A = this chain, B = another copy of it.
Amino acid sequence: MKELLYEGKAKKVFCTDKPEELLLEYKDDATAFNGKKKEAFRGKGELNNKISSKIFTLLEAKGTPTHFLKELSDTEQLVTRTSIIPLEVVVRNKAAGSLVRRLGIEDGMSLHPPLIELFYKNDDLDDPLINDRHALLLAEVTHKELMTIKEKALKVNDVLLEIFEDCDLSLVDFKLEFGRTEGGDLLLSDEVSPDTCRLRDKQTGAKMDKDVFREGTGELVPVYENILQRLEGATCAK
């Protein structure tokens, strides 16, 4: 029996025989608005496991270390255990979603350089937006670590922009989580998937991510399948 360490909204976290490694099991659940909207989609866990594995592999290949070690099954992956820093690090290339609602910025406005936002990862407080000083107070990171996190996030953005460009997808924004390894290094953790990225088809502008579920405007599973196909096609073509 695998020992369940923690069950989140999208993944279950299990111990392995090695203390420095964890098993992540991707669930079929989709949630939005901090869990207020919730539904299960058969096949979503498998799709996100495969998409996330693919993207982490590509990130590694392009020199960006991640927690990803290997795919273990359709819905499971092996990762380096980290102590998660309770920050949601959002990188935005274009204005969308909460940025538009909160600040009245025009939907789709280009953001150069990309805009980084920090949210305090705390479901009870509804993941509030915070500034750098709040992050030092709440997330127990040093100023230097925070700067490293932002640099890494921008580097990830550069690589993701390239990856999705090859898939004819435009990357509007995404959310990252970083964790601290045993050795004290900051390592990209959690997932990179259509649950955590806003993607648009470059030709039609169609939304190709969890927004179809958030906004109830389309079928989630076919969209995620399409993303996986594009990622597989793009990497085969190289």
Contact = CB atoms under 8 A, between A and B. Distances in A.
Nearest to A99: B134
Given A118-B131, A131-B118, A125 B102 contact: yes
A129 B98 CA distance: 13
Interface string A168-196: 00000000000000000000000000000
A130 interface: yes
Interface residues of A, number: 22
B116 A128 contact: no
Q: How many copies of this chain? A: 2
A89 to B, nearest CB: 12
A122 B104 CA distance: 10
A117 interface: yes
A116 B125 CA distance: 21
Contacts of A102: 125, 128
A39 interface: no
Interface in A119-170: 120, 122, 124-125, 128-134, 137-138
A103 interface: yes
B132 A131 contact: yes
Contacts of A4: none
A186 to B, nearest CB: 20
A53 to B, nearest CB: 32
Nearest to A120: B103
Contacts of A115: 133-134, 137
B130 A103 contact: yes
A72 interface: no
Contacts of A130: 103, 129, 131
Q: Which 4 A-B pairs have the closest CB atoms?
A: A131-B131, A102-B128, A115-B133, A104-B125
